[in-house]
Amino acid sequence: MPTTPAQLQALTVAARKAAGRAYAPYSKFKVGAAILTPAGKIYSGCNVENASYGLCNCAERSAIFGAISNGERRLKIACVVVFTPTDSPTAPCGACRQVIYEFGPTARVISTCRSRARLDHAITDLLPNAFGPDNLI
By CB under 6 A, is residue 49 in contact with ligand THU?
Answer: yes
Tell me the C-alpha distance between 111 and 34, whole Å.
11
Q: How far is CA 120 from CA 24, 36, 111, 135, in A?
A: 25, 15, 7, 26
Which of 8, 64 has the CB closer to ligand THU? 64
Regarding beta strands 32-36 and 79-84, do their DSSP bridges make them parallel or antiparallel, or are they unpaired?
antiparallel
Q: In this chain, which stretch among 27-35, 64-72, 99-107, 114-122 interacts with ligand THU, using CB under 6 A?
A: 27-35
By CB under 6 A, is residue 95 in contact with ligand THU?
Answer: no
By CB under 6 A, is residue 96 in contact with ligand THU?
Answer: yes
Tell me the C-alpha distance between 135 and 112, whole Å.
32
Which positions touch ligand THU (CB under 6 A)? 24, 27, 29, 31, 47, 49, 56, 58-60, 82, 90, 92-93, 96
